Structures are given as C-alpha cells and as structure tokens.
Amino acid sequence: MPYAHITGWGMAAPEPILTNDDIAKMVDTNDAWIRERTGIRERRIARDNEFPSTLGVEASIKALTIANLRPTDVDLIICASSSPEYIFPATACLIQDQIGASKAGAFDLLAACSGFIYALNMGAQAIRSGSIKSALIVGSETLSRFINWKDRNTCILFGDGAGAFVLQASERPGGVLSAVMHSDGSGGDLLTLQGGGSRYPASETTLHDGRHYIQMDGKEVFRFATRVMASATQEALSAAGLTVDEIRWIIPHQANIRIIEAAARGLKLPMDRFIVNLERYGNTSTASIPIAMVESLEKGQIKPGDKIVMVGFGAGLTWGALAAEWTGPIPSKGHVHPEQYRAFGRLRSFVRRALRFIEGLLYRREL
Ligand SMILES: CC(C)(COP(=O)(O)OP(=O)(O)OC[C@H]1O[C@@H](n2cnc3c(N)ncnc32)[C@H](O)[C@@H]1OP(=O)(O)O)[C@@H](O)C(=O)NCCC(=O)NCCS
C-alpha cells in the first residue's frame, strides 16, 4: 500500500492589515481586551479583487513548485473553505482551471475550520487506496466578506488567507500516519452562516435579519474547543501507535491562544511544542493550519523525520486531528515550473470557452 507524503507547501495572505486599533474605531473594544482574550493583534483582509480561488491559486503554485510537480500531473484537487466563492461551481474547479491542472478531479469540502484536516485525510486516503498518485489540498478563505463589522463578538476573530499542500504517493514509509474526524450536529446552531443557503435564500428579509453574517455563541464554542483539542490529538496518536512524547510539533487551529493553552495543559506539553502565529493572522479557518505550518517550515522549525500532529475544530460542530511524519520534497530529476502553467491554464481555459461557444452556434443552426 503506498504512503501519502506531504511534498509541497505554500501560503498566500492578502497584504492589507487590520489591527486591533483599527477595529476599535468600528466597535466598542480595545487592543488590550482582544489580545488578552484571544491573543490576536492583527489580521489580513482581502482586497476587492482577491477571492478564495485567487489566494488558493497563489498558495497552490508555491506548493507545486516546492514539490516540483506539474499542475498537469495533479490527480485530485480538494478545496476546503468556509467562505467558498460560490455555492457552485466549486472553488476547487476555479483553482483547477487557473493553474491548468487539466487531468485533475476537483471538489470542495465543507467541514468549517476542521476542513483542512478532513481534506488532507481524504486526499491521503485516496493515495493510500492506490486510486490516485497525487493530490493538491487547499484551504482558502475570504471570511471578511461575511463579517458584521458592528458585532464585536465576531469581528475581532477572523482573517483572510490561503494555504496548500501537495500529497504524493511513495513506497517509502512515512507521511500521513493516522487521522480522526468527528462531528456533533447538535451544536450546529453555535456557529452559523445561514443566508444564501436553500433554507434562507438571499432576500430582503435575510439581509435585514443579518443572516449573511457569521453568528456565534463564543462562550459555548470556546467550551467545546477546549474539550476536544487534547482528546482528538490523543486519539490520532494512539491510532498511529505513537505517544505524545514522540511528537515534535503540534500545529493547532489558530482560533484563540487560550484554547491552545488549554490543549497544552490537557496534553501536559509545554507551549513551545505548539506552532502559533494567530497574533498576526487571526482565525483564517481552513487556512490557519497550513499557514502556520508554512511559516514554521520557512523558519526551519519542522524538519524531515519530525512527527507532528495537526488538530482543529470548527462549526458543524466538527473536530479532528491528523498525525504525520514530515518528509519534505521527494528528490526528483529536473525542474518543473508550475508558475508557467498559469499562462497555459489561461490559454486552455480561453480555447475551451471559445470552442464551447462555436459548438453552441453550430448546434443551434442544426436545430
Ligand atoms: C469570542 C471570545 C473571544 C469571547 O471571549 P470571552 O472571554 O468568552 O468573553 P465573553 O463572551 O465572556 O464576554 C465577556 C464580556 O466582554 C464583552 N465583550 C465581548 N466581546 C468584546 C470585545 N471585542 N471587546 C470588549 N468586550 C467584549 C462581553 O459583552 C462581555 O461583557 P459582559 O460581561 O458585560 O456581558 C471567546 O469566547 C472565544 O474565543 N470563543 C471561541 C470562538 C471561536 O474560536 N470561534 C471560531 C471557531 S472555529
């Protein structure tokens, strides 16, 4: 059975920064309160021309470059997002088109902030089964578009960004070792984005009622999160036959420093074993774990051979953890340039649209 190795990684963050002081000009809050209760100092906010697909493409091209893998060799693209560009088509298909991944299947996965762990596990399982050889796993968000900037309970927490991993099959042991996924829909009402779905299709009433904004019972979500982070980590570890002492790094969902500190207490681990960068990005939902990992890799913290656990929770309710042995890129001959495939992707997309148009004209004449 092939192993699924993480061989490439990339991130994208919009440049505009929104600080706590900026938010204090919009709602009754202040920098000290936000830092003390969440650990967040600032977050990135997408410009008008940035979307989950554009951020996802930027992160994906970087990940494919590190993996030295052509977009045309990618078998599957899974995009986890809590703020997908449309209900359909899937953001994954927009990414597939823009990077020129001509043979890839593509779909979106919705498990809120646990989505990246779910998607990574799904991609790894497809590789382990032998049905595919490579997968691009993307977590991409422009959550700022769903924030009520008058609601101090939520507007302090979230930010925009994207992260992507490449998974590749190899006979060499390692890579994704185990994963656990959980859900509890009885807590679905604790964190919602209702407007625009089929229960509350967009209308003047949904707009008036603010259903197009994220709504959250912060205290309850906090309690749930502190309960599940340590237990999910332990479950993933025992499924992989590992103990917590063998783990070099824990990469938690970057929601709130106090939730991460509770997980550290639950696991009896010091905080320096946790990778944390939420002070600069806030909660970027599905993108938070890959962004934290990419930054940590760039600092040289995570090294080949390190055993790591990613753990997260989110709306649904959902939660999960994934244990892996870090590999790094698989050595290969020659260099591919995934960036160049963007131009190929644009051309391919244009030609396909033009052909579809001409075919449509001919078909209509035949009727
Ligand atoms: C949202 C959260 C930061 C609030 O922190 P908290 O310590 O639970 O704060 P509380 O909700 O108990 O509020 C305490 C007080 O601060 C006030 N408050 C809430 N937000 C505030 C803000 N931004 N600035 C100042 N005061 C604020 C509340 O109104 C409350 O005042 P009251 O006691 O007079 O009613 C915290 O509950 C949290 O992080 N929850 C998890 C959310 C999460 O991770 N969501 C994403 C899941 S993927």
Tell me: cis bond preceding 89? Omega within 30 of 0 counts.
yes
Which residues does 145 contact at the CB level (< 8 Å), separation at least 6? Answer: 46, 83
d(CA 221, CA 226): 9
Distance 148 CA to ligand 1 centre (A): 15
Catalytic residue among 79, 93, 113, 155: 113
- The domain spans of the chain are 3-325
Report helix, strand or coil for 161: strand
| Backbone CA torsion sign across 125, 318, 323, 301 | positive
**Mutate which of 29, 30, 37, 184 for ligand 1 pocket (most atoms within 8 A of beta carbon):** 37
The token pair that represents 154 in the structure block: 């939520």
The CATH-assigned architecture of domain 3-325 is 3-Layer(aba) Sandwich (3.40)
153 has catalytic annotation: no
pLDDT in tens, the chain (367 residues): 999 999 999 999 999 999 999 999 999 999 999 999 999 999 999 999 999 999 999 999 999 999 999 999 999 999 999 999 999 999 999 999 999 999 999 999 999 999 999 999 999 999 999 999 999 999 999 999 999 999 999 999 999 999 999 999 999 999 999 999 999 999 999 999 999 999 999 999 999 999 999 999 999 999 999 999 999 999 999 999 999 999 999 999 999 999 999 999 999 999 999 999 999 999 999 999 999 999 999 999 999 999 999 999 999 999 999 999 998 888 877 889 998 888 888 899 999 999 999 999 998 776 6
List residues near ligand 1 (CB under 6 A): 29, 33-34, 37-38, 113, 152-153, 156-157, 191, 216, 218-219, 221-222, 225, 255-256, 283, 314
pTM, full prediction: 0.96
Q: CA–CA distance from 40 to each of 43, 217, 260, 301 (Å)?
A: 8, 19, 13, 22
